[in-house]
């Protein structure tokens, strides 16, 4: 068989590639071409390679490309099978006068024909060819060779067909296709545009696996695309805006890529554009903000102007989309603008190393206020039938981010919206799985099919907690929240989230947002304890909350790295214990004793005596565990000391329990071992408050304090109330 005959037989693959599954049925094709069935029979009965070549040539001559439908392709496969193409792909000996790639080209052409059938595209005999096919993409050869170009086209046809099957992307990634596609694209040889298109599809389908298998190659592609984007002066820069989000890695983006991307976006967004040109740029900027925060924006005047421009454009887009009732909202664009507004909120509230100057912050806050007003207007129109839509979730998210930092402006509008927000949060809390799915849909809607960077919280309530924490301090908003049942909802939410941190759960894999959410809930409850004590006493949900706090604190204070959460739980429990002191659960039960023992442990271990060079007397200093978090902890510690002091006269069993813990003795011993000048006045007041109440409540406590030189220590620290109490019988 000659080389020309081989090439002619290869046209059968082209026929399959160009065919449509909508062509007439096989019996209709046979009625137009009665010899086809006879040639297929010859193909089935071929005894060697030469006879199969000949039969393939006859079939090629008997049919035209447009006549091959799905059934005919399947008949050809049944006649040929995989054995013959397998040998063609692996043979290293070509007929005399033929280039060495001709046999492989025919094998690939046959596979391309077969892969037009989705069932065959997922056949093991096709899947095990993926490594071989991938090597063809980067093989060297004459770029003008028509047969080689044809083989490359067929290879892409095969790989694309496999990618379209349910498990195809996974097989392609495992077979080294991602690296081969990257190298083919970077080589800019024939078919490199097809390599990029297939890469886009694989990243959209299985981003994590792609990056795990081929990170260096994908980063090389990102560098090339970023450089092209920075240099582009034609319409290609808008096309690159749509491609680039898919190539941002789930880890760190190379700094040179960030520079190129920022420079390219600055040129685009600084020009007058139509919406179809501007929107992809806003979405790319949002993806970068989501992945990198503000790290991709350079410091200095150019960076601050660029950030201000980004936020300004985002706010304008949000207002245009949401203020006009009945206007069709481009939800993906607006959600991307929300991400840019979040970046603006973060930078406007940053005190140190902010990209923005104060005049810019003031201006942007005013602009964002108007955009948030539009978001509130939109949410006021949302009916029950739309509450589970991703765009509503995204709108609540940006409102939550705003309320976390600013509640004084738009107060009337926010108060009017509070009933909706409580109902919305309750709906999604009660359907937690759907809420989590919504967060993933929001990420897809906003930026791309993948979500590098911080995870979007999986429930609406967590988005609203910081804002509600501020609002519960104010009389009007707090009354609305209480009326709408927010405290009961928050108690249920806290208990549900607390379960995630309980023994039996691996807390190391929990996102930080869970613990932060628990702390914020505690802050809200603290506000309610102070401003609405009657609610704590009458609402049964707070009794359940108190029981959980009592049973949880003993183990929590023993856990490394969770001191701040322990401080919140201890302080909240102590304050609630004052209000619920008549509850049976607090009358010296094992749970209540365990709680107060843990609270004493938290309060007593904050400070130690530390020796100083050049002095015989030690100074009072923070203990090592407390040093790193004291700035966030000290207010809770002082409040906890005050709350414990208030509990002593209300719970008769507490003073003897404190004495058995040796806290009053050790506290006096600590004060006696350090220089009084090293103890700040507020510390002296806190210590004296506890010691005085314990001494007043129990004779044995007074005696133990006297034995520990309590009167002398009180005199040194000018604790007049303690000195007087200890001087009494």
Residue 95's pLDDT is 62
The answer to which of 65-74, 147-156, 440-449, 715-724 has the lowest mean pLDDT is 440-449
pLDDT score of 44 more than 80: no
Task: Provide the residue count of the chain.
Answer: 729
pLDDT score of 76 more than 80: no
What's the rounded Cα separation, in Å, for the pair 77 and 113? 9
Which residue, chain included where needed, has tokens 């001494």? 695
Span 227-262, pLDDT tens digits: 999 999 888 999 999 999 999 998 899 999 999 999
The average pLDDT across 555-576 equals 95
Residue 174's pLDDT is 94
What's the rounded Cα separation, in Å, for the pair 589 and 496? 24
What's the rounded Cα separation, in Å, for the pair 515 and 72? 62
The answer to whether position 125 is within a domain reads: no
The answer to which of 53-62, 205-214, 537-546 has the lowest mean pLDDT is 53-62
The answer to which of 30-39, 153-162, 306-315, 490-499 has the lowest mean pLDDT is 30-39
Residue 426's pLDDT is 92
The average pLDDT across 361-388 equals 93
The answer to whether position 609 is within a domain reads: yes
The average pLDDT across 339-363 equals 92
Residue 445's pLDDT is 57
Q: How far apart are the first and last CA of the chain?
A: 121
The answer to whether position 591 is within a domain reads: yes
The answer to whether position 546 is within a domain reads: no
The average pLDDT across 186-203 equals 94
The answer to whether position 603 is within a domain reads: yes
What is the band of 444 on the pLDDT scale with cuts at 50, 70, 90? Answer: low
Residue 509's pLDDT is 59
Residue 354's pLDDT is 87
The answer to whether position 598 is within a domain reads: yes
The answer to whether position 622 is within a domain reads: yes
What's the rounded Cα separation, in Å, for the pair 389 and 112? 42
The answer to whether 332 and 317 are in contact (CB under 8 A) is no
Q: What percent of the chain has pLDDT over 70?
A: 85
The average pLDDT across 633-658 equals 97
The answer to whether position 620 is within a domain reads: yes
pLDDT score of 410 more than 80: yes
Domain containing 665 equals 562-728
Burial (CB count <10 Å: 0-12, 13-18, 19+), residue 420 = middle
Residue 20's pLDDT is 29
Question: Residue 609 belongs to what H/E stretch?
Answer: strand 607-610
What is the band of 620 on the pLDDT scale with cuts at 50, 70, 90? Answer: very high
The average pLDDT across 447-469 equals 65
pLDDT score of 195 more than 90: yes
Span 276-331, pLDDT tens digits: 889 999 999 999 999 899 999 998 999 999 999 999 999 999 999 998 766 788 99
pLDDT score of 449 more than 60: no
The average pLDDT across 30-39 equals 60
Span 464-484, pLDDT tens digits: 999 999 999 999 999 999 999
Span 485-502, pLDDT tens digits: 999 999 999 998 898 877
The answer to whether 468 and 485 are in contact (CB under 8 A) is no
Q: Mean pLDDT for the chain?
A: 86
What is the band of 18 on the pLDDT scale with cuts at 50, 70, 90? Answer: very low
Distance, C-alpha 637 to centroid of its chain: 33
pLDDT score of 21 more than 60: no
Token output for 256: 């040179």
Choose the most confident range, by mean pLDDT, from 18-22, 124-128, 337-341.
337-341
The answer to whether 178 and 210 are in contact (CB under 8 A) is yes
The average pLDDT across 715-723 equals 94
CATH code of the domain in which 642 resides: 1.25.10
**DSSP 8-state assignment for residue 465:** H
Residue 106's pLDDT is 80
- Tell which residue, 612, 627, 620, 604, has the closest CA to residue 676: 620
Residues sharing a CB contact under 8 Å with residue 482, sequence separation 6 or more, in sequence order:
532, 535
- Tell which residue, 317, 10, 338, 354, has the closest CA to residue 149: 10
- Tell which residue, 304, 313, 289, 293, has the closest CA to residue 368: 313
Domain count, the chain: 1
């Amino acid at each position: 068989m000659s080389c020309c005959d081989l090439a002619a037989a290869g046209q059968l693959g082209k026929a399959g590639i160009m065919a449509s599954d909508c062509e007439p049925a096989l019996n209709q094709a046979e009625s137009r071409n009665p010899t086809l069935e006879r040639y297929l029979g010859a193909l089935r009965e071929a005894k060697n390679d030469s006879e199969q070549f000949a039969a393939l040539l006859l079939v090629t001559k008997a049919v035209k490309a447009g006549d091959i439908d799905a059934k005919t392709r399947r008949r050809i496969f049944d006649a040929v099978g995989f054995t013959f193409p397998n040998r063609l792909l692996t043979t290293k000996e070509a007929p005399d006068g033929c280039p060495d790639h001709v046999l492989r080209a025919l094998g690939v052409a046959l596979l391309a024909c077969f892969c037009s059938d989705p069932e065959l595209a997922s056949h093991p005999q096709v899947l095990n060819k993926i490594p071989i096919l991938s090597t063809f993409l980067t093989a060297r050869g004459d770029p003008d060779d028509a047969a080689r170009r044809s083989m490359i086209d067929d290879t892409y046809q095969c790989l694309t067909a496999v990618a379209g099957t349910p498990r195809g992307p996974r097989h392609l990634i495992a077979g080294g296709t991602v690296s081969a596609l990257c190298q083919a694209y970077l080589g800019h040889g024939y078919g490199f545009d097809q390599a990029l298109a297939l890469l886009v599809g694989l990243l959209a389908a299985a981003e994590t696996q792609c990056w795990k298998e081929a990170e260096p190659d994908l980063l090389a592609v990102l560098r090339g695309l970023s450089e092209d984007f920075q240099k582009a002066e034609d319409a290609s820069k808008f096309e690159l805006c749509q491609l680039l989000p898919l190539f941002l890695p789930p880890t760190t983006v190379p700094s040179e890529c960030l520079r190129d991307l920022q420079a390219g976006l600055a040129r685009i967004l600084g020009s007058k554009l139509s919406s179809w040109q501007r929107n992809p740029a806003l979405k790319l900027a949002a993806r970068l903000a989501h992945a990198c925060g503000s790290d991709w924006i350079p410091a200095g005047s150019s960076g601050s102007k660029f950030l201000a421009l980004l936020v300004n454009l985002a706010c304008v887009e949000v207002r245009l989309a949401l203020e006009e009732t009945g206007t069709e909202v481009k939800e993906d664009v607006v959600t991307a603008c929300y991400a840019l507004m979040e970046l603006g909120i973060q930078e406007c509230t940053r005190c140190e190393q902010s990209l923005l100057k104060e005049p810019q912050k003031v201006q942007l806050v005013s602009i964002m206020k108007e955009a948030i007003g539009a978001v509130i207007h939109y949410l006021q129109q949302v009916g029950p039938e739309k509450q589970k839509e991703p765009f509503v979730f995204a709108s609540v998210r940006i409102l939550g981010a705003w309320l976390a930092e600013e509640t004084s402006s738009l107060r009337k509008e926010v108060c009017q919206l509070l009933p909706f927000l409580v109902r919305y949060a309750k709906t999604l809390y009660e359907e937690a799985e759907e809420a989590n799915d919504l967060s993933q849909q929001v990420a897809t809607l906003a930026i791309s099919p993948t979500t590098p960077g911080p995870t979007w919280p999986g429930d609406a309530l967590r988005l609203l907690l910081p804002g509600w924490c501020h609002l519960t301090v104010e009389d009007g908003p707090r009354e609305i929240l209480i009326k709408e049942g927010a405290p009961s909802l928050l108690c249920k939410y806290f208990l549900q989230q607390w379960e995630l941190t309980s023994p039996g759960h691996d807390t190391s894999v929990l996102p930080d947002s869970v613990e932060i959410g628990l702390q914020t809930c505690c802050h809200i409850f603290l506000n309610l304890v102070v401003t609405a004590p009657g609610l704590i006493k009458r609402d049964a949900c707070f009794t359940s909350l108190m029981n959980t706090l009592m049973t949880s604190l003993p183990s929590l204070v023993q856990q490394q790295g969770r001191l701040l959460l322990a401080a919140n739980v201890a302080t909240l429990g102590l304050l609630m214990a004052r209000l619920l002191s008549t509850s049976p659960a607090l009358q010296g039960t094992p749970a209540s004793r365990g709680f107060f023992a843990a609270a004493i442990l938290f309060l007593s271990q904050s400070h130690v005596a530390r020796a100083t060079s050049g002095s015989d007397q030690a100074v009072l200093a923070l203990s090592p565990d407390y040093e790193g978090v004291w700035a966030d902890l000290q207010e809770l510690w002082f409040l906890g000391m005050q709350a414990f002091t208030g509990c002593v006269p209300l719970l008769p069993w507490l003073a003897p329990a404190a004495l058995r813990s040796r806290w009053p003795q050790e506290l006096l011993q600590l004060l006696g071992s350090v220089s009084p000048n090293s103890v700040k006045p507020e510390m002296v007041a806190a210590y004296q408050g506890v010691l005085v109440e314990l001494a007043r409540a129990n004779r044995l406590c007074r005696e133990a304090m006297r034995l520990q030189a309590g009167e002398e220590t009180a005199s040194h620290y000018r604790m007049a109330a303690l000195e007087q109490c200890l001087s009494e019988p």
